[in-house]
Amino acid sequence: MEENQPKTGKFAMNYGLLTGLIGVVFGVMLFVMEMHYEQGAAIQITQTLILAAGIIFAIIQFKKAGGGFLSISNALKVGAGVALIAAIVGLLYFFILSNVIEPGYMDKVYEIGKIKAMADNPSLTEEQINQGIEMNKSFAWISYPILIIINVLIGLIFGLITGLILKKEEAAY
């Protein structure tokens, strides 16, 4: 029976690409509506729900392909894999957005951050805020691996929850 078990990598790749593309469509929609600089709670929740839906759908389809059987370890593998692939697709889109489509994107983000910092901390001088922005610019590259790690952790969480709900093991005998 074991040879009939579907491959977690195939499901992770297919549904990760699909989830990532849906995330890119959401990002393009934000860009077209000129909302791509906003990082409000509604946008963050929507992005998380897109990822969660992709993971849950992938695990459900994996279970169907496996004859109705699902182990928690397979659910975790599919969830983490979908999240990893979706994160890579999302980061590729962000790279293209910030370097090709709108080359001044990061400068605008830092300018918005500067205005927000001045409003939130009136005791800081403009020089202190500029020093903080320069420090952020020098460490901006670290955000890419951190985003991938956070995405995979979210994938593991949703994979675990979905796996616990849908778990059905084959009989050992």
User: Per residue in 110-157, pLDDT tens?
Assistant: 777 777 777 777 777 778 777 777 777 777 778 889 999 999 999 999
Residues 6+ apart with CB under 8 A from 50: 19, 22, 23, 26
DSSP code of 70? B
Domain ranges of the chain: 2-102+143-166
DSSP code of 2? G
pLDDT: which is higher, 154 or 104: 154
On the CB side of 107, CA atoms within 13 Å amount to 4
How wide is the angle at C-alpha 108 spanned by C-alphas 104 and 113, nearest 5°? 150
Two structure tokens written together for 126: 């403009």
pLDDT of residue 110: 77
Q: d(Cα 125, Cα 24) in Å, to the nearest integer?
A: 38
DSSP code of 36? T
CB count, 10 Å around CB of 71? Answer: 16
pLDDT of residue 92: 95
Specify whether the CB–CB gap between 65 and 165 falls below 8 A.
Answer: no
pLDDT of residue 1: 43
Of 14-18, 84-88, 126-130, 164-168, the poorest mean pLDDT is in: 126-130
pLDDT: which is higher, 138 or 89: 89
Residues 28-80: tens digit of each pLDDT: 999 999 888 888 899 999 999 999 999 999 999 999 998 899 999 999 999 99
Of 20-29, 50-59, 78-87, 104-113, the poorest mean pLDDT is in: 104-113
